[in-house]
Amino acid sequence: MWSFNHTVSNWPTFSFIGIPGLEAAQIWISIPFCLLYLLALMGNALLLILVKAEHNLHEPQFYFLAVLALTDLGLSLSTMPSVLAIFWFNVHSIGLDACLTQMFFIHTLSSVESGVLVAMAFDRLVAICAPLNYTRILTHSTVACLSGAAVIRGATLVAPLPFLLRTFPFYGANILSHSYCYYPDMLNLACGDITFSGVYGLVFVLFTFAVDVVFILVSYMKILATVIKLGNQDRNWKSLHTCACHLCTVFVFYLPLISLAVLHHYTQNTSLILFTSMSNAYLLMTPLLNPLVYSLKSRQIQAALCKRFWVQRIIAGE
């Protein structure tokens, strides 16, 4: 799928910038990157295995967690080829088709992850505000429909982006400011009138991330109002504790996303090293931290981990 090359062709090629000023240390920089990717892949794969194997985790909130882990695996695998090609093989070029393909998967999976976070907020909203109707509302079909809607929305809204970029000519060095293909980055390199493409990109952001953030905020305002009405402090704490993992995941996902958007807007006044670090953190830290957050904060996940490793230790001891 990936067509990295150094040859001259009729099709435009794009160049990844890597980490400016640290070109001589790229082989050493690749070591922590490889470890982080490995941990992200292993952590999310482990979550998928636990949710599938443990009957106690066959609940809507953990089904959504499995979809989130699957999305994070896709994000890691989407960026890993270009990032490791830079640091391992000093390959900084990518063809147009490969770049558009990578861009499609990155933006689609980011939109899917945002949609899954909304579904998880809805799950917590129903669990706290309407606990007696939880099993009636959050059925297996509801979980499947919400997850499928997130995928369809992401793929449908992102699908026009590659076709819009293909209508523009690209001249010159075409140097990308990330270690992967990113729509605003590629659009800035396009020659011609990019007004419509820029407006569509803004519409995409508004109809995905902006709408999702508003829904999550409204959900937690409703949750907070319900918890305050309960009166019992111990019960309040237990109710809010069930939301802790989801809130941490929301912050882990949206803070790098917002930071990267701000840096893109003020690129000329931003340090290149800071810009590159934030762009890598945007798609690497989320898949890495999500499994860690749920392993540390979710008692059900902790119990499942202890059970699996305890059983394996007993089998090994025998």
* pLDDT tens profile 40-86: 999 999 999 999 988 888 999 999 999 999 999 999 999 888 888 88
Around Cβ 46, how many Cβ atoms within 10 Å? Answer: 17
**pLDDT tops 80 at residue 172:** no
Q: Which of 43, 102, 21, 28 is nearest to 288 (CA)?
A: 43
pTM of the model: 0.88
Strand partners, 13: 95
Average the pLDDT over each of 144-148, 263-267, 279-283 and give the range with the smallest value.
Answer: 263-267
Cα–Cα distance measured from residue 284 to residue 272, given in angstroms and rounded to the nearest whole number: 18
d(CA 111, CA 210): 11
For residue 116, the model assigns a pLDDT of: 96
Q: What is the pLDDT of residue 151?
A: 96
Token pair in block for residue 205: 């952001």
Cα Rg of the chain (Å, integer): 21
- Taking 70 as the threshold, does the pLDDT of residue 218 lie above it? yes
- pLDDT, tens only, 244-264: 888 888 988 888 888 777 776
Does residue 15 surpass a pLDDT of 90? no
Q: Cα separation of 72 and 75, whole Å?
A: 5
